[in-house]
Structure 1
Amino acid sequence: MATEWDVGPRLAARLTYVLKRALLDLEDLHAEYLAEVGVSGRELGVLLLLDSKGPESQQETARRLGVDRTTMVALLDGLEAKGLVARRADAADRRRNVLELTDAGQTALERAVHASDEAERQLLAGLDDAESARLRTLLTRLAPDRTKH
């Protein structure tokens, strides 16, 4: 009996398909677990970046995340409306906006990280700890942080 995901052996064996399926499953889990925190997976990415990099320009944040300008503005509008991120004009260059986490943003970040960790645990439930660590290591080698270059 064919199912929605019965794509045949040739497609099912393709790395692109397997990675996409895993990503879709993880996005669904993130949506479920992050819903109670009130942030999306993409918003969590912004919060995590600002937490690790400190106040940063809107343009630089978008570049680091690989997000286009329009999408970044929408993400920041949402985070700002929730009181999680503050935008202010850069004192050195008033044409630039600088972003920083608010106190509420820091609190939401901690809750969201916990929820995200649980989503990842659910996705990786079929792997033992060593396999999960190995998967992360291999994926990191395949997709290095390109912002460092």
Structure 2
Amino acid sequence: MSTSDGPGPELSSRLGYLLKHARLRLDELYTNALRPYGIDGRELGVLLALAGHEPASQQQAAQRLGIDRTTMVALLDTLQGKGLVSRHPDANDRRRNVVELTDAGRKTLSQAIEASDDAERALLAPLTPQAARHLRTALQTIVTHPDS
């Protein structure tokens, strides 16, 4: 490989470049891993956000994921069309839609978690187990402390 084939050290040492390309690689691995279950990485995120809590409103789910209301409605429309979530008015507040996983959604989520875990292991395979743990911990710190 000649020096003109890659981005060069000026670019390939930059954090933005590295994070972007690691994310692109993970997206590719997720796409391949989740394809058999008929969902993508964003849809998996919604299913995970819904599964870990009491039935949530569309707004609560959007806040958990840090996405806007319009995007959440589109994702939920897609997941509802696939039979993975259901929406119904809240019994205590008819203005609020409650979103829940269906039985098919819970089954898909279980299978998709295993597949996405395999994708993450593939991404982290070049690292030692300790380095992989450190990377995950460092990224969690950055994400959970944005003002630091």
Name the residue aligned to 1:89: 89
1:41-120 to 2 correspondences below 5 Å: 41-120=41-120
- TM-score, with length taken from structure 1: 0.91
Distance in 1 separating the partners of 2:131 and 2:8: 26
User: What is the CA-CA distance between 1:54 and the residue it aligns to?
Assistant: 2.5
Name the residue aligned to 1:126: 126
Distance in 1 separating the partners of 2:8 and 2:132: 27
Note the residue ranges of structure 2 that are not aligned, 5 or more in a row: none
Distance in 2 separating the partners of 1:83 and 1:113: 18
User: What is the CA-CA distance between 1:123 and the residue it aligns to?
Assistant: 0.4
1:12-23 to 2 correspondences below 5 Å: 12-23=12-23
Identity of matched residues, %: 53
User: What is the CA-CA distance between 1:134 and the residue it aligns to?
Assistant: 1.2
CA shift in 2, pair 1:94/1:47, >3 Å: same
- TM-score, with length taken from structure 2: 0.92
Stretch moving more, 109-118 or 8-17: 8-17
Aligned residues: 144
Provide Cα deviations, 1:57-86, integer angstroms capped at 9, x if missing partner: 101111110111221111101110111100
Distance in 2 separating the partners of 1:33 and 1:68: 26
What stretches of structure 1 move > 4 A for 4+ residues in a row?
none
Tell me the SS of whatever aligns to 2:19: helix
Provide Cα deviations, 1:93-143, integer angstroms capped at 9, x if missing partner: 211111111111000000000110010011001012111111111111111
Specify the code of the residue in structure 2 equivalent to 1:137: T
Report whether the alignment pairs 1:142 with 2:142. yes
Distance in 1 separating the partners of 2:75 and 2:145: 22
Distance in 2 separating the partners of 1:70 and 1:49: 17
Note the residue ranges of structure 1 that are not aligned, 5 or more in a row: none
Tell me the SS of whatever aligns to 1:87: strand
Over aligned residues, Cα RMSD in angstroms?
1.3
Specify the code of the residue in structure 2 equivalent to 1:70: T
